[in-house]
A and B are shown apart, each in its own frame.
Chain A
Amino acid sequence: MRWLLNLLGITSEAHEICRAQTLAEQREIWKRSIRRVLLSRLLSWAIVSNKKWLWRALGVPTAQRQMIEQDFIRSKTTNVDHPISIASSTTQHCQQKTGAQGTDASIAQGAGAAIWDYAIQTLDPVINSTLLSSSNHYYLLTLLGHYTPRSHPTYLSPKAYPKLSHADAFSGFRIHTDEVAEVLGRMASGTLTVAVLMDSLDWFEEGLEGSKEVQRQLGLLRRALKIGGRVLLRSAGKQPWYVELFEATGFKVKRVGVRSEGVCVDR
């Protein structure tokens, strides 16, 4: 990232945006330089539309990219509202990070258009509503390469230090090195109360084989969960194809956050 900022000649601007004390100041810097450069067509063509780069630099696997692209196509053709929630024994929070809606779409065409649109939908609200220098360490880290004493994850705060350096702070930890399904399969049934799957299900490809895998995993998850246990997941897709598999397995699905234009779901 640092190399990239250097190449684009916006290193000093990046440092400045990380120092901005007010949202207005931050927006100003964002608009006048960084946004223009980062979201330029040249960059989107060179990096964002390149599948290998997406994986290497941003960790976006193929299946997830396809979800974003599908949403983009859908948003261009219709303006569908998104379905929410059904019911059963176990509850599931389904939080979705969502992608594209029609804005600015005409500017970028081709393979990278969907991802490019996704980036705009993600970045603009973040810059508009959270201050990098004090409360958004995620983007601060990407631009600066390090945290600052004012902007950092909660676990690095002085208040967290005594808690985490306590002798048995990590006695409850179990670090498993294996696939999710494998770990779930070895877990005693009815023990988990919370499962955080992040966007891991986005990695499965939509289709018969992917469905089977997801179904197997959900079966194992259901077995390992206590009744009333909760699952939190995120997805890059607006309507993840596997949500109906959750419902079929007996989960109650509830969307607790969705990004639409101008709304910031995650910092």
Chain B
Amino acid sequence: MEYRFGTITSFNARCHMFGLRIPYYVWIGCSKDDGSSQHRLARLNAAATESPFLAALDNHSQSFQSANEANAIDIRSKAYESAVINLSASLPLPSTWYQTHHWRLYYDDQLEKHRQFNDEYIYAFTWEDSLVDTRLLKLQEDDVVLAITSAGDNVLSYALERPRRIHVIDVKYVVMPHVNQYMLIWNLAPLKTTFSNSNSLASLLFPTKISGASSAKANTHAFDNSLSRNSARTCPASLSNIGSNTDPLLFRHLLKASTLPAAPDMPCN
């Protein structure tokens, strides 16, 4: 399917019903000639018609970038490079191109540098004092911030100041346990009223299981589990939970909000 369709997202998980650990795989795709991806590609191609490859792009990049500063995918991005390679082999584009949110930029999840930490994260929370950062940085609306993610707590406090852009960096693909998950929750917050007996704000805000970095592996799962337990009806990661009582419109909404990277063994639920 991944050769024939565009992949929006996919994940592996296990079902713990009946005391078994039954593996299952969810794949969500679309037509590989999805409208929006075509549109974006066309814009990029228009800027570099002579050659689809990078040598030609250097000359164009400068002017092109300033014209398209708002565009999530800049011309020298890895996403573009991968798109060119996939197109030349007439394969579907990488999943970034089919997803509707572009805060998570394309990366090749098979590279050793992303895999060296296994499925673990090193920092379960950020030690650097966010109040000190706020006081020192005094972020303004036109600031463009680049920050190392760590666990993502400070990045979220920067977001409260609403700078124009925040670039966050991490070499691990299991990044930002907080950011990724909280973004999903916050993004779905308006939907929450749709669900019956939805969880209180407090239970969303204070998931009970965040602990120190001590046993990172266990914590990853503890955190994911606690989140999906607390917010089973709001986290698109647990699509299986909502499948039965969801109307198609809502389902589509969830898909739209889904930003999970297509990492094959993303620890999810």
**Residues on A close to B: CB < 8 A?**
1-4, 56-59, 93, 95, 138, 141-142, 145-149, 152-156, 158, 160-161, 163-165, 167, 169-180, 183-184, 186-188, 191-198, 200, 224, 226, 230, 232, 234, 256-257, 265-267
Contact = CB atoms under 8 A, between A and B. Distances in A.
A148 B210 CA distance: 11
B74 to A, nearest CB: 7
B160 A146 contact: no
A141 to B, nearest CB: 6
B166 A173 contact: yes
B63 to A, nearest CB: 11
B168 A198 contact: no
A267 B76 CA distance: 40
Contact of B206 (A56, A142, A152, A184): A152
Find the residue from A164, A176, A197 having the highest chain B CB count within 10 A. A176
Interface of B: 61-62, 65-66, 72, 74, 76-78, 101-105, 107, 113-114, 122-123, 125, 127-133, 136-137, 139, 142-150, 153-154, 156-157, 159-160, 162-173, 175-176, 179-180, 182-183, 186-187, 189-190, 201-202, 205-214, 216, 261
28 contacts: A56-B214, A138-B127, A147-B210, A154-B131, A154-B157, A155-B156, A155-B157, A156-B205, A161-B189, A161-B201, A163-B160, A164-B182, A170-B187, A172-B166, A174-B165, A175-B104, A176-B107, A176-B170, A177-B173, A178-B113, A178-B169, A186-B74, A186-B76, A194-B137, A196-B133, A196-B148, A224-B146, A257-B132
Contact of A194 (B143, B149, B183): B143
Given A160-B160, A164-B186, A188-B74, A141 B210 contact: yes
Nearest to B62: A188
A267 B129 contact: yes
A234 B202 CA distance: 33
Contact of B171 (A138, A173, A177): A177
A161 B164 CA distance: 19
Contact of A266 (B102, B127, B148): B127
B32 to A, nearest CB: 23
Contacts of B213: 57-59
A177 B132 contact: no
Contacts, number: 209
A257 B101 CA distance: 38
B163 to A, nearest CB: 7
Contact of A177 (B148, B175, B208, B209): B175
A173 B78 contact: no
Contacts of B168: 173-176
B171 A179 contact: yes
Nearest to B114: A177
Contacts of A198: 128, 147-148, 150
A203 to B, nearest CB: 11
B212 A1 contact: yes
Contacts of A266: 127-129, 132
Contact of A164 (B61, B160, B172): B160
Nearest to A154: B157
B117 to A, nearest CB: 11
A172 B164 contact: yes
Contacts of A160: 160
A248 to B, nearest CB: 21
A91 to B, nearest CB: 11
Contacts of B72: 174
Contacts of B201: 158, 161
Find the residue from A4, A153, A163, A265 having the highest chain B CB count within 10 A. A153
Nearest to A59: B122
Given A59-B122, A172-B165, A4 B214 contact: yes
A138 B202 contact: no
Contacts of A183: 146, 167, 169
A175 B105 contact: yes
Nearest to A191: B144
A2 B142 CA distance: 43
A194 B139 contact: yes
B12 to A, nearest CB: 19
A56 to B, nearest CB: 8
Given A164-B186, A175-B175, A176-B169, A196 B145 contact: yes
A186 B186 contact: no
B44 to A, nearest CB: 15
Task: Sort A-B residue pairs by CB-CB distance and give the 5 closest, nearest first.
Answer: A165-B189, A266-B129, A177-B107, A173-B103, A155-B156
A196 B144 CA distance: 11
